[in-house]
Amino acid sequence: MTKWVYSFGDGAAEGRADMKNLLGGKGANLAEMSSLGIPVPAGFTITTEVCTYFYENGETYPDELKAQVAAAMAEVENVMGAKFGDAENPLLVSVRSGARASMPGMMDTVLNLGLNDDTVNGLIAKSGDERFAFDSYRRFVQMYSNVVLDIGHHHFESILEDLKNSKGYTLDTDLDADDWKGMVEAYKAEVERRLGKPFPLDPEEQLWGAVGAVFGSWMNQRAITYRKLNDIPADWGTAVNVQSMVFGNMGEDSATGVCFTRDPSTGVNRFYGEFLINAQGEDVVAGIRTPQPLNEVEKAAAKSTLPSMEAVMPELYGELDAIRDRLETHYKDMQDMEFTIQQGKLWMLQTRNGKRTSQAALTIAVEMCESGLIDKAEAIRRVDPAQLDKLLHPMLDPKAEKKILAKGLPASPGAASGQVVFSAEDAEKWSEQGKKVMLVRVETSPEDIGGMHVAQGILTTRGGMTSHAAVVARGMGTPCVSGAGDIKVDYNARTFTVAGATVKEGDMLTIDGATGEVILGDVPTIQPELTGDFGKLMGWVDEIRRLKVRTNAETPLDAQTARKFGAEGIGLCRTEHMFFDPARIIHMREMILAEDEDTRRAALAKLLPYQRKDFEDLFTIMAGLPVTIRLLDPPLHEFLPHSEHDMAEVAKAAGISVDAVKSASARLQESNPMLGHRGCRLAITYPEICEMQARAIFEAACAVTKAGGEPVVPEVMVPLVGLFEELDMLKKVIEGVAKTVMAEQGVTLEYMIGTMIELPRAALQAGKIAESAEFFSFGTNDLTQTTFGLSRDDAGNFLKAYLDKNIIEVDPFVSLDRDGVGELVRLAVERGRAARSDIKLGICGEHGGDPSSVTFCHEAGLDYVSCSPYRVPIARLAAAQATLGGASGSTK
């Protein structure tokens, strides 16, 4: 027979802490505390398997459940010396949810269950306090009616307010026993009036109504939303915990409180919490009364004038403090605990791994490791890479008020405020005047790079997590919200509208790139502080991980930032980004508009010194670390001007008419440019472009080597290869240039030539391509696009529907699709290594900074991942966790 119910209490339990999947977090920890001999009110847990059965069988229960619940209730009655439903000596219980992952406040709870017109008299006799008994009864009627009978709280609050107004009362504490007794009757009458039937007075009916409501709440909207935000599967289900009530509101020798074994905000190792004398647990969090500090240290820190528990209940505080030490040592993690004192006896109601800030998570992991409570491997597992991300960027002050206008995709973390501008040119102009700007665009393009660089933050109404705006912003460490589709931008009016509000150019706007929120006004931020704990943890990470971590960088600032964060080379230098500087773009446009090879070569010669200097800077900063340089990739039309002014300027420089510029621009437009004349196809059509870039790379490498720098080993990467013949042809061009430059400079260089694997055909033909390629770098942004047949810039318009309808679990541009794209990567790794055993394998798409994708790369046997500079520490941590077999489910 299946066991559906597990009992705990009186120093014994049928469950254990490691049974969270079956008993939920709360039930497993109550069982564990009971087994440790810690005072826990007796109770029992109905397992998560019942929840699964409940939903799979038309919201019904297994046949054996009622008998098992009755037997468990009898055990509780025996331990607590009271009887459920007995008029003279009633046992009252709480009914609470308890999923395996903590979901505070998301599901329903019922307290004081078992009270009715008869048992309330037994509670009066036991407590000697009629007011307390009827106050408990009216709380139960209100809570049960709301949770189980679906009658809104406000109906009962209105009745209470009417009474207080009629009697001139200000506070609930002004009501006496007769007032509360009248409230109970008024509440019950309200229930009958709304439902057409009386409030249930049978304790058994109350119990099963509450159990059903808890299971039902697993599918309420707030629980569904919380699970989505925290990646909690719906099929986990929740357990139900039925536990005997203890009361913190039975007089001045009773109290209730919440505490943490360490400060959850800072991670400092000090007992932290608050309590209230003569109160129930809900009073501590409801804000009806000001909670009192737990100890004298907290009292001083909070500048409180209220007496601490340490001062007014010293013996009980000492007992609680000892339990704090015992539980933290036992669980080897910071604990969040709830307790009640009933008439001088301490009871523990809950313990769980406590939620904590990013800084606290880091501090606690390092301190616990250094004190010997956990080892380095566990310390590494404890820190969620997403928490580390938050430490590297400014965050919104959690105390600040926010007027949220819209929500988009959290494309690049960090919070920023600035005055709204609608063009990159205005962003640069306003920035030069000392103004902080927020660049708002429908979508960005490479020519916006100057404005993006100076903006405090970037907001787009189109595009996904790997759109141009998202990728560039992450590389710069600039906060970005993309795909905020509810916002309608009017470039002509220089305004945007959303939810009935109009925001004009110059208005202050704040974005939170970690949540996707768009907020009106200037919201205060908190600057990140990287403490010594960060350095210690990253040192431990580097001892353990196998995967190397490089960065995607093409500017000295990006490269220096990445080195600071521990990058071990550059895995992707996008050379096209270097051409958008105003001094260079004019020559790039001359090259594109050239009608013959000689004119094209003359324009490229003007670009050569710029490219060479760029590469010299990167090689110098990287000091001998590998640098992978991708040859020109985007279609040429992206470099051409759009405004009449810019067209006239290009026409003058090229010695042609404006009409000729327009004609060339029209000629270069493509129906689907991302699958058009780009990547290696450009170099095959115009080998002189490849030659110029190769010369710039090798001349720069020679110059740095001659200057006494660390030996440079350039890695030249040919993009968008689908055919062996494409790479082989261009490899010969590059090798020819290398040979010529080395002869000219009198320097011998080591170098590598490889390709990006970003087309399914390239993955399938990886064995053949590896005959020519010395390395593969998986460009998973484009490989995802070409495998799914999705445009990353447009997919945001409909992928949300796919996520909402559970067609996909995660956006494939955010976290690598293991089944499809991942299968192509694994196949290419296998075939590439079979053809060339020493081939170097890496990933340079945005997935290189996603923890789940990093784990995949480790499992697939890649040598390195490459990501934007600010994600280097996240990738390092994720790589170490992959080596260790994953994170430990640390709390956030």
Q: Provide the annotated active-site residues.
A: 468, 844
Structure-token match 């009864």, residue found: 137
How many contiguous H segments (helices) and E segments (strands) does the chain have? 35, 34
> At 114, is the secondary structure helix, strand, or coil?
coil
CA gap 622, 112 in Å, rounded: 66
291 secondary structure, DSSP code? P
CA gap 415, 516 in Å, rounded: 10
- The alpha-carbon radius of gyration of the chain (Å, integer) is 33
Strands (E), 328-383: 335-342, 345-353
Residue 608, CB-side half-sphere exposure with 13 Å CA sphere: 17
Please answer whether residues 599 and 688 qualify as being in contact, where contact means their C-beta atoms are separated by less than 8 angstroms. no
Kindly give, in sequence order, each residue whose CB lies less than 8 Å from that of residue 679, ignoring residues fewer than 6 positions away: 633, 718, 719, 720, 721
CA distances from 520 to 441, 473, 726 (A): 17, 21, 51
Structure-token match 């439903």, residue found: 85
- In one-letter notation, the amino acid at residue 295 is N
CA gap 737, 680 in Å, rounded: 17
Structure-token match 């985007």, residue found: 634
Per-residue b/e over 137-147, b at no fewer than 16 CB within 10 Å?
Answer: bbbbbbbbbbb
Ordered strands of the 109-113 beta sheet: 12-13, 5-9, 43-46, 238-244, 93-99, 109-113
Widest pairwise Cα distance in the chain = 105
CA gap 240, 61 in Å, rounded: 13
Q: Crossing angle for the helix pair 821-835 and 780-788, nearest 10 degrees? A: 120
- Strands 238-244, 43-46: pairing kind: antiparallel
CA gap 307, 297 in Å, rounded: 12
Q: Crossing angle for the helix pair 130-147 and 153-167, nearest 10 degrees? A: 150
Residue 188's CB is within 10 A of a number of other CB atoms, namely: 18
Residue 726's CB is within 10 A of a number of other CB atoms, namely: 21
| CB burial of residue 653 (10 Å; 0-12, 13-18, 19+) | middle
Kindly give, in sequence order, each residue whose CB lies less than 8 Å from that of residue 805, ignoring residues fewer than 6 positions away: none
- Strands 752-757, 775-778: pairing kind: parallel
Partners of 244 in beta bridges = 93
| CB burial of residue 163 (10 Å; 0-12, 13-18, 19+) | middle
Q: Crossing angle for the helix pair 130-147 and 119-127, nearest 10 degrees? A: 140
CA gap 59, 50 in Å, rounded: 10
CA gap 447, 580 in Å, rounded: 6
CA gap 303, 247 in Å, rounded: 29
CA 867, chain centre distance (Å):
17
CA gap 875, 207 in Å, rounded: 49
CA gap 550, 862 in Å, rounded: 13
Please answer whether residues 517 and 511 qualify as being in contact, where contact means their C-beta atoms are separated by less than 8 angstroms. yes
Structure-token match 């912003």, residue found: 473
Q: Tell which residue, 557, 695, 567, has the closest CA to residue 617.
A: 557
